[in-house]
A and B are shown apart, each in its own frame.
Chain A
Amino acid sequence: MGFAEVGCIECHSSQQRESVMKTLHTGFGEITYDPDKVIRFPEGLIGFEHLRKFIVMPVKKDDVLFCIQSVEEAHVAFLLINPCLFFPDYQVRPASGDLEKLDITEDDSYFVMTTITFHKDKTASLNLLAPVIYTPRTDRAVQVVLEGSGYSTRTPLPKVE
């Protein structure tokens, strides 16, 4: 399970940094984080526009799956995954308005991730219609909508046993 590793990472960084760590009581337990190291969604996620700050926690060793945990509402967390693992042709480029929101230029690197939804029938799906673009340089992220792309909010993944 990834969260034990997350704890170690957080402890390690706290030893190197002087800033005051904060603690969050989430559904997964107590999480200690550095308030200077949150990522910001200038517009929140769609339907969650009021939540602007999240902490990122890797939940698998090889950096394909992340949990973003709201620091403003402890019960809100999302799983983000690199959709290219399953859909290699999936490509998203930030529009000019998105570049402004992310405070980057076209030369900056960015990552495209999608949320994962679990369903009652034990399947999981990806929201390819509204991916999240994250830029490490500014630590900002936006959820964009690919209107007219034909992508679905519920693109199925292989069955989760």
Chain B
Amino acid sequence: MLVLTRKVGEGIVIGEDIVVRVMECKDGRIRLGIEAPRDKKIYREEVYERICLENREASQWDLQKLDALNAILPSKGSR
């Protein structure tokens, strides 16, 4: 892992189109500003990992579970 030291207001450039800047450092928290093209997906790491895990688990199902789910689903007409 590349490790760099930066002061508030300083930034790093990643590739041609991403800039990460240290905006504020207070009480052990660091606020980062990120400039990147809109098609670059940016997530907090723990959020990204939680969704990866959930998607993996959501891909584990079988027809028995589906039948059980069908049984409890409200029908459209009853909404």
Contact = CB atoms under 8 A, between A and B. Distances in A.
A79 B61 CA distance: 8
B68 A161 contact: yes
Contact of A127 (B39, B54, B77): B54
Interface stretch (B4-12, B16-24, B26-34, B40-48): B40-48
A78 B59 contact: yes
A122 interface: yes
A79 B76 contact: no
A48 B51 CA distance: 11
A38 interface: no
A156 to B, nearest CB: 12
Contact of A46 (B48, B57, B68, B77): B48
A79 B58 contact: yes
B52 A46 contact: yes
A43 interface: yes
A130 B53 CA distance: 12
Query: Helix, strand, loop or mixed for chain A's interface?
Result: loop
Contacts of B73: 60, 64-65, 81, 85
A118 B38 CA distance: 34
Interface residues of B, number: 35
B55 A101 contact: no
A145 B73 CA distance: 25
A122 B72 CA distance: 12
A98 to B, nearest CB: 10
Contacts of A77: 59, 61
Given A2-B66, A47-B52, A147 B58 contact: no
A76 interface: yes
A129 to B, nearest CB: 7
Nearest to A88: B79
Interface of B: 38-39, 41, 43-44, 47-48, 50-63, 65-77, 79
